[in-house]
Chain A
């Protein structure tokens, strides 16, 4: 349980560490030298190049899923940082190149890799790979790139581009020539290489040593299914309700075919965990065909989307759309198992009444929880007498009385819904610090 103040100060601390890490090569490698400038544009371009390189190196740190780093922000926001910092670093790298191209064309030599110096070609190829990585990530869906293939390309390009860029810096040489700078630069490079080794070799190895097995596959409403998974060694899997994990099914953890899913079971029953998954893409549509006994690997739990982050809250409001109810269900089941009697409101939006996942169980949870349940159906059937349409500001203002404004709010659903509900809550004067959601539609 972490207090909000502590979370804010630890976020600020991590941001400062990020800035120091990004700027340190600049000051170590360039700043410690005696004053002998090479012209404003040259030195500006070099500063940009080194900083962008440091940012690219830290990209590996951001996606290494270190819990201490991800905890204060939420891992979804860490992935957004990863995305925005990548775009920023690419802009800096392009600026680095373009300044040299137009101000000092002779220093770059010829473009043809057969005639050009190898370390300059390495730099050009690295830049090209970095640009391609950003394009394939920002527009993966438009380019019809399959998620698994995209991840493979992303990792291969990232590691190759990074190593080529190191070669480029090594080849240029004159900023890392003095012994003390050579030592510092080697230590910095070693840190990056260790990170790559940890993420791609050591971490999958740790997962490989702790396999799980699929116990049961249960068909749910709305073309979804629930996988019940248990550790082979029988060890409990501790998590907070609402958290998620990366799941690898029937594949080696080194193959990097893992997908993030919210845990839907109660945290009070940690001997087994459940994931409720809706058929939406290549991988998810095959999940329902999984056979009991299939080996699974789990990397997690992650996330701060949990009632456990707010132990002092007077009550909770949950707003979910479709399979977005999975983490909410984990929270409701856990609260019920703990016999928590705080007031709860669950607004649950679905396209059709027959597709409402967990419909029957939610009804029975009314007996164990102090919960008010409101279904909102987009396409109601003829005799449906409940709420229909969307979760709008009008609907929210009708159900949220003054007391509820101090509750903690958890949103989980499609991007458009999360955005519009967030704006509506803001308009209804719900403090934004009380509204929590996680975003998982980044690539």
Chain B
């Protein structure tokens, strides 16, 4: 009987935890923010069609995949949604974009040492490869 109570309390805790986790996820993602995200995704898809040089984009995307960028970033909803890249390049110059790609030390205060280290894995890329990657980032 006492064991049954222990089991019931565990079940109840499970239900409370799941309900609160759902509530938390709902609160973090109100409908209007999700809509804004959706609009951003749609415009990103349109901008891809406007870019003529699809071969560069394809090669740039290949590098994006090879470098496992999707572990920390998402494009059109694919990958880690914490840091979406859709439209992110619009406000940046090519030089700034390159700093973000290779984890330049100037960014340390903004993104922290751990993330910077992960980005610095891209320093192994050749200049051409970095350019192709930037080309791809401009297309999304």
- Which residues from chain A contact B11 at a C-beta distance below 8 Å? 84
Interface size class of B (residues with CB under 8 A): 35 or more
Tell me the complex Cα distance, A107–B69, Å: 8
Within 8 A of B (CB), among A100-128: 104, 106-110, 117, 120
- Among listed B13-21, B48-56, B98-106, interface-contacting one: B13-21
Q: Does A149 contact B (CB under 8 A)?
A: no
CB-contact partner of B28 in A18, A43, A81, under 8 A: A43
A51 engages B71 (CB within 8 Å): no
Per-residue interface assignment for chain B, residues 1 to 43, with 1 indicating a CB less than 8 Å from any chain A CB and 0 otherwise: 1110111011101101110111011111110011001000000
Tell me the complex Cα distance, A422–B28, Å: 48
Q: Does B44 contact A (CB under 8 A)?
A: no
Would A80 and B20 be within 8 Å (CB), given that A38-B81, A40-B29 are in contact? no
Q: Does A85 contact B (CB under 8 A)?
A: yes
Interface of B is mostly: helix
Would A26 and B26 be within 8 Å (CB), given that A80-B3, A85-B13, A117-B71 are in contact? no
* Residues of chain A at the chain B interface (Cβ within 8 Å): 15, 18-19, 22-23, 26-27, 30-31, 35-44, 47-48, 51, 74, 76-77, 80-81, 84-85, 87-88, 91-92, 104, 106-110, 117, 120, 170-171, 173-174, 177, 422, 426, 432, 435, 437, 439
Would A117 and B68 be within 8 Å (CB), given that A43-B29, A47-B21, A174-B82 are in contact? yes
Excluding A44-B22, A47-B21, 11 further A-B contacts by CB distance (< 8 Å) are A22-B17, A39-B29, A39-B37, A44-B24, A51-B21, A77-B6, A104-B79, A104-B80, A173-B114, A173-B115, A426-B1
- Which residues from chain B contact A120 at a C-beta distance below 8 Å? 71
Tell me the complex Cα distance, A18–B16, Å: 12
- Which residues from chain B contact A41 at a C-beta distance below 8 Å? 25
Interface of A is mostly: helix
B17 engages A51 (CB within 8 Å): yes
B71 engages A108 (CB within 8 Å): yes
CB-contact partner of A439 in B3, B71, B74, under 8 A: B3
B28 engages A173 (CB within 8 Å): no
Within 8 A of A (CB), among B54-82: 68, 70-72, 74, 77-82
- Which residues from chain B contact A27 at a C-beta distance below 8 Å? 24
Tell me the complex Cα distance, A412–B64, Å: 65
- Which residues from chain A contact B9 at a C-beta distance below 8 Å? 15, 81, 84
A30 engages B13 (CB within 8 Å): no
A37 engages B29 (CB within 8 Å): yes
